[in-house]
Amino acid sequence: KTRVAVLGASGYTGCEITRLLAVHPELTISAMTAERSAGLDYPAVFPHLGGLDLPKMTKTDEVDWSNVDAVFCCLPHGTTQEIISGLPGEMPVVDLSADFRLRDVNVYEEWYGAPHTAPKLQKKAVYGLTEINRDNIQGARLVANPGCYPTSIQLPLVPLLEGGLISPEDIIIDAKSGVSGAGRGNKQAFLYTEVAEGLHSYGVTRHRHMPEIEQGLSDAIDAEVRVSFTPHLMPMSRGMQSTMYVKLSGSIKVEDLRESLKLRFEHERFVRVRAVHVCK
């Protein structure tokens, strides 16, 4: 089996990737890191995963890299660049932060508020939206896992733009997410009494997923695409729904959009195109 390390295993992203990796028939988890939880067994942080055979969590600088073949990096953006740059050799990495999603390091600095510290490594990164970029992902040394909103938005829009079925102009995106998408940190805006029984928009015109969305849509037609994107926080733990409003091209009908998506994704294991008028 391929031996993998999970860096940042104590966060929500680390928890989910650990759950998936632990039951994968071709992978085994040989190392798990969590700076503040180093030395603890994993069930001490996530009791619901107590039945899995997992190593104790350690600090990153304590990992025995000779026992690791590949890395899943679940650290916060800004910390990942230095960590990945310091890994031995050409060890394959899947990075689940935002640090390597944007090709232009100047755009990264504009939206994330700090210079990119690994521009040479950025040039090796491949955007990891598998259903759209599968051929380039295979064999990549560094895969930048896409963000949550960009995944839900690019999967339907990229094929429609590539096929010329919709206009690239005046695309409106109304998206809603559960609270776990904001991470596990203690922030006032995500306290129960702040979120429960309500709904509010946030990051309007400045959400950090905006340039990632526009980068992917622009790639689809090799021309600049700008969108109106408004994310909302929902009083639920997890889940996401993105509703896109688009202009149809020429004589294209709504039925043509669904048929195009059905053909594009009919063999994709993780994408399901629902019947007309079915929204759940």
Residue 148 catalytic? yes
Check: CB of residue 232 under 8 Å from CB of residue 199: yes
| Distance separating alpha carbons of residues 19 and 17, to the nearest angstrom | 5
Check: CB of residue 260 under 8 Å from CB of residue 165: yes
245 by Cβ neighbours in 10 Å (0-12 / 13-18 / 19+) ranks as exposed
56: left (phi over 0), alpha (psi -120 to 50) or beta: beta
146 Cβ neighbours under 8 A, 6+ residues apart: 101, 127, 128, 129, 154, 212, 216
Residue of 15, 73, 74, 148 with catalytic role:
148
69 Cβ neighbours under 8 A, 6+ residues apart: 2, 3, 4, 91, 92
DSSP E strand stretches across 81-182: 93-95, 125-127, 142-144, 171-177
| Distance separating alpha carbons of residues 150 and 197, to the nearest angstrom | 26
CA–CA distances in Å: residue 208 to residues 28, 79, 139: 33, 16, 28
- Catalytic residue positions? 148
